[in-house]
Amino acid sequence: MTDILSDRLKIWKNWLTHEKKVSPHTLNAYDRDVSDFLDFLGPHLGKAPTFQDLETLRAADFRAFLASRQRDGLSATSLNRVLSSVRSFFRKQEKDGVLHNPYIKIVRSPKKPKTLPRPVSPKAAKLLLNSSRHSPGTGQRWLQDRDTAVLSLLYGCGLRINEALSLNYQDRPHGEVLRILGKGNKERLVPVLPAVREAIEAYINECPFRFREDGPLFFGKQGKRLNARTIQHRVQELRRRLGLPETATPHALRHSFATHLLKNGGDLRTIQELLGHASLSSTQVYTDLEIDTLLKVYENAHPKSSGT
């Protein structure tokens, strides 16, 4: 790899970290995708690629790379991320005025299969919350209260798990609303039910660690900020004990929040705001889910559904 290409990669990663403020997980994925792209260009071009070579690439070259990754077994979703990673690198070069390649912009994103979120039923959601509060699995009362508080935020407020675990002590709900900093540093206000506030207060009262205003709200056993994997493992244990399907995950509680609001008369625009979706189309999948559910009910219950 030439020195200038190596330097431009460092500048791009620094830009992603400090200006775009992407998560470490996203940074690693983008870095890996662009490294795979540069590795592909060697055999594809017949020589080690230079920074100048990137400007001469055509749409067919980018498509050939995506085709090679597809042959490696990547799904349409992963291919979309790969293309986004490469586009991000080229976008930064164009922004800095050091490279311009119009062909990367005309390459179409692979079409992703349409998938619907899989919420849990209201009964299953309540079971998860009650079981996390009373189950002896964690061995310590404060851990049970902590897990209940986190799951209450996911189901009661529709938070993403990382949004809940990123909360600092000073962010805890003091009234009827909670201020959340979501994807793209977009801020939103979500209502907080009394049951959610009570769950958080119960955890705070039992937690053995000292809270600081700018420190984490949720602690792990070692006194550091709680990580998502711990909550995922906890829900996995609970659903096995309760006989719930594998689709009963922490993220499914967020889907359940939206689906149950819609079932009870919530409008899409309001649900969009509560979820922090940038586009209404992201929220409209819940409408599709409702239609899918209604069709299943019709097929199972309607006397004409069997064709008789």
Domains delineated in the chain: 3-106 (1.10.150.130), 122-298 (1.10.443.10)
Tell me the C-alpha distance between 180 and 159, whole Å.
8
Mean pLDDT of the chain: 84
Dump pLDDT digits (tens) for 29-88: 999 999 999 999 999 999 999 999 999 999 999 999 999 999 999 988 899 999 999 999
44 is known as an active-site residue: no
Dump pLDDT digits (tens) for 148-202: 999 999 988 888 899 999 999 999 988 888 888 877 777 888 888 899 999 999 9
Q: Which of 81, 87, 251, 263 is labelled catalytic?
A: 251
Q: Which of 8, 69, 234, 254 is labelled catalytic?
A: 254
254 is known as an active-site residue: yes
- Which pLDDT belongs to residue 221? 93
pLDDT band at 209 (very low <50, low <70, confident <90, very high): very high
32 is known as an active-site residue: no
Q: Which of 183, 186, 212, 229 is labelled catalytic?
A: 183
286 is known as an active-site residue: yes
Tell me the C-alpha distance between 252 and 120, whole Å.
6
- Residues 244-258, mean pLDDT to the nearest whole number: 84
Q: Which of 160, 172, 234, 239 is labelled catalytic?
A: 160
What predicted TM-score, i.e. pTM, was given to this entire model? 0.56
112 is known as an active-site residue: no
- Which pLDDT belongs to residue 145? 94
Dump pLDDT digits (tens) for 4-44: 999 999 999 999 999 988 888 899 999 999 999 999 999 99
- Give the residue with greater pLDDT, 7 vs 247: 7
pLDDT band at 305 (very low <50, low <70, confident <90, very high): very low
pLDDT band at 298 (very low <50, low <70, confident <90, very high): very low
123 is known as an active-site residue: no
